[in-house]
Structure 1
Amino acid sequence: MRAEKPPEMRRAPLLFAMCAVAALLGCERPANVGAGLAPPPAVAPSAPPDASPPSPRDASPAAPASRAPADAAAAAPADAITLLAGGDVCLGKALGQELLRDPAHDLFASVAALFAAADVRFVNLENQLSDQGGETQHPRQPLVFTGPPAGADALARAGVDVVSLANNHMWDYGKGAFLETLDHLERAGVAYAGAGRTRLRAYAPVIVERRGFRVAVLAVTGIWNQGSLWQHPAREFVAAAERDGLAAAVRTARKQPGVDAVVVSYHGGTEYLDTPLPQARAVARAAIDAGADAFLGHHPHVLQGIELRRGRPIFYSLGNFIMKVRRTGPAVELGMLARLRLRRGAPPLAEICPVRSEGLGTVPLAADPRRAETEAAFLERMRHLAAFVDAEPAIGPFAADGCAPLEGSAAAAPAAPARNASAIR
């Protein structure tokens, strides 16, 4: 017999949809969603009402509140922008100690060229940012860690526009450290999705505007380290994954006037597993069917396969980006960036840019002294992973910048593979 969901989970689709609708319309909080919770701020990237003016990144949690840069007001709106999405970034543990020693250390220097070529840069931030008296990892619990406050500045210097905070490490040092994380990101001008000071804000999309083109970013987590998120106090602050509720939120964002694209970040699955879990598949496909332009998976710490659905890419796991993990080996070291050319009224053009973890940093394919070896290993890895997903695309030839197109991502019907393309089969 199918186990009955707890009351919190049965109410989740309605709750998620109500939060998303309220946030996007900029209206008052639904009466039955958490007594005493205030609506999200009308203006500024993930900032409280009394915060300083928004940064030039122009990200906002409420659709009506987004503001275009002053110099873009007279220009014709862009028909497309480029979003570069990275996988798991952990600024705790050894990386956190490095930032404590040298707060100006540039963790993202190796990918500066790729970042500079994008309009919007997104990563999954796999840690809190809090001052624990020099501690960046619990001495007796190695899976409990935090980045120092300087981590927010490192993200901002690199040009990261939006991070997802919807993940299983967002309560490692408790509520105080969680709220401190929001403070540091707001101070640095880095917008965040999937979390907030209220439930309404946590489920609200972040809207980023570039040259008149507006993309909504939603983030949710299906993993929580302290038991069920639905039954944990953090449910008021972190967005939990639920298929129908997420689909409703995507539809709401999609219908909002002025929103040109919707991107979903999902934290879930099983660590070091090649196969996407059925739950991840269901959530991803529901999000795409509801109107999402791309689905970005995090948490397994290894690459997982890519699907094209309705011409839109599903990245079940982007793998590690800037993260020192316990395990070693090619499967853990290989990750990828997803480069999405988001287009108004059309599916995105998708490219993948392999990266390789080395030491405390990452090496993009274009700068890899072992480029030929890494490229071959990456393609072999993707061929292996294709056995676990449907609608496998083909990877086109890699360009000088270390990125390759996903053939068929430009339209609902797959295009003919490029010459020398590697079919993921």
Structure 2
Amino acid sequence: MGRAVAVLVAVASLATACGSATVEPGAKAGGRSFTVAAAGDILIHPELVEQAAKDAEETGEGEAGLDFGPLLAGVKPVISKADLAICHMETPVGKPEGPFEGYPEFLVPPQVLKAIKGVGYDTCSTASNHTYDHGMKGVRNTLDTMDEVGLGHTGSARTAEEAEKINIRDVNGVKVAHLSYSWESFLNPAPENKRWALNRSSTGEIKKAESRARKEGAEVVILSIHWGLEHYNEPSVPQLDLARRITEETGIDLVIGHHAHVVQPIQKVNGTWIAYSLGNQVARHSSPTGLTEEGAIGWFEFREATDGWDVTARYRTTLVDIPPEVEPGEELPDGAVEDHRLVDVQSVLDEPGDLSEERLARYRLAADRTRGFLFNRGAPGGDGLKPLSLEK
């Protein structure tokens, strides 16, 4: 027995001396890996357009008097770090000079897409209940502008031929497909002769799209899906049922959910990570609830295994700062938020500077509450969901 132990120790010491890497069980020696960052709805309300106009006056940048860069800059250190960053563009865009519209039939400045690209996003899902708010003109404007700024896209289409194409990207030598599906608005449905303009949620259609993606060489398939009930922090029964069917009947590797405008849990279902809702990435609802300003960036690391892909999940809490409303000519209270800004909460808590205790309490609340909602279906246990730490 003693001799056997001695031999094992000697072998281990030799391996260490030679610099041999330890291979985790199931991992593939020399296997590929990549990271994915995905966030919630990008919903540009009128107050955010006003903020972009204010920022353009100060920066002297942007286009047609609008600069969305400062609004979104807070998440650049996280988003730009990922090998593949996926946004969800909730609404159609118009022309740079406007006119623009808010709820219920959104038409937002196309300048925001340049800012989205600027913080590090690579591609966006475009299937939502607002996709067809302004018909085919809105769909075309949105996708044309995405092409101009270099953003990939999936979920809506300008032609029937484009609707059949699969968005496949090379990520660290891995072919990754991105699919996007949504329920359709009853207010502005696409006409029968243009049903191809929007991908409608259906297990059967998702299965067909995944099959096409695999035939075209996709090794990983990520699904963005617009589903659930607005302002509910727990997934609905239809969400849970569709998640089960997707994980049982398809080979989808990751599901990213939107539409609730608040954070919902992340959990593994049949071995596949499901982010039911990552809340809003950026929005300014007419009646902010606090929850609608809180969001999460999901961070997923894919490692090649002997039988597929091993995926670990992390998250980063975000918050949209909203200035208090004051009467014209009235000054903001001391220490109050002055501008709408998308904030990486942990970075502020790590380096608070001279922020007031009231401001810091708001960031702590966002961090604590988001953690609670994300963990509400047991992911921090055996599934291993954890906060994301950025290496300096």
Per the TM superposition, whether the score is higher than 0.5 is yes
Deviation digits for residues 124-151 of structure 1, max 9, x if unmatched?
101111128533225xxx3222221212
1:124 equivalenced with 2:124 (yes/no): no
Paired residue for 2:235, among 251, 259, 276? 276
Paired residue for 1:79, among 32, 55, 59? 32
1: CA distance, partners of 2:246 / 2:133: 28
2: CA distance, partners of 1:397 / 1:145: 34
Q: 1:153 to 1:349 in 2, by over 3 A?
A: same
2: CA distance, partners of 1:147 / 1:380: 33
1: CA distance, partners of 2:72 / 2:96: 24
- The DSSP-based 3-state class of the residue aligned with 1:235 is helix
The answer to which of 155-164 and 196-205 deviates more is 196-205
**1:384-395 aligned within 5 A:** 385-386=376-377, 393=383, 395=385
1: CA distance, partners of 2:172 / 2:134: 39
2: CA distance, partners of 1:328 / 1:150: 24
**1:64-143 aligned within 5 A:** 79-99=32-52, 102=56, 103=62, 104-106=67-69, 107-131=71-95, 133-137=97-101, 142-143=103-104
Match of 1:256 in 2: 215
2: CA distance, partners of 1:319 / 1:378: 9
Paired residue for 2:280, among 317, 320, 330? 320
Residue 111 of structure 1, CA deviation: 0.9
1: CA distance, partners of 2:101 / 2:279: 21
Residue 256 of structure 1, CA deviation: 2.9
1:268 is matched by which residue type in structure 2? W
The answer to which of 156-165 and 219-228 deviates more is 219-228
Deviation digits for residues 322-349 of structure 1, max 9, x if unmatched?
1112332343222111111123321311
The answer to which of 350-359 and 364-373 deviates more is 364-373
1: CA distance, partners of 2:117 / 2:374: 32
1:213 equivalenced with 2:177 (yes/no): no
Match of 1:22 in 2: none
- The DSSP-based 3-state class of the residue aligned with 2:263 is coil
1:340 equivalenced with 2:300 (yes/no): yes
- Structure 1, unaligned runs of 5 or more: 1-76, 403-425
Deviation digits for residues 62-118 of structure 1, max 9, x if unmatched?
xxxxxxxxxxxxxxx971111100100023522234445622431321011102211
1:375 equivalenced with 2:367 (yes/no): yes
Paired residue for 1:365, among 345, 348, 352? 345
Q: 1:395 to 1:134 in 2, by over 3 A?
A: same
Residue 306 of structure 1, CA deviation: 2.0
Q: 1:132 to 1:379 in 2, by over 3 A?
A: closer
8 Å CA contact 2:80, 2:119 repeated in 1: no
Residue 281 of structure 1, CA deviation: 2.4
**1:204-243 aligned within 5 A:** 204-226=165-187, 232=192, 234-243=194-203
Match of 1:422 in 2: none
Match of 2:13 in 1: none
- Structure 2, unaligned runs of 5 or more: 1-29, 57-61, 323-339, 353-359
2: CA distance, partners of 1:168 / 1:234: 15
1:356 equivalenced with 2:319 (yes/no): yes
1:310 equivalenced with 2:270 (yes/no): yes
2:167 is matched by which residue type in structure 1? V
- The DSSP-based 3-state class of the residue aligned with 1:282 is helix
**1:24-43 aligned within 5 A:** none
Number of aligned pairs? 319
Residue 295 of structure 1, CA deviation: 0.4
Residue 190 of structure 1, CA deviation: 0.8
1:108 is matched by which residue type in structure 2? L
8 Å CA contact 2:314, 2:387 repeated in 1: no
8 Å CA contact 2:225, 2:258 repeated in 1: yes
2:32 is matched by which residue type in structure 1? D
8 Å CA contact 2:183, 2:227 repeated in 1: yes
Match of 1:396 in 2: 386
With normalisation by structure 2, the TM-score equals 0.73
Root-mean-square deviation (CA, aligned residues, Å) is 2.8
Deviation digits for residues 38-75 of structure 1, max 9, x if unmatched?
xxxxxxxxxxxxxxxxxxxxxxxxxxxxxxxxxxxxxx
2: CA distance, partners of 1:88 / 1:127: 9
8 Å CA contact 1:320, 1:335 repeated in 2: yes
2: CA distance, partners of 1:191 / 1:394: 31
Residue 181 of structure 1, CA deviation: 1.3
1:123 is matched by which residue type in structure 2? C
Identity of aligned residues (%): 23
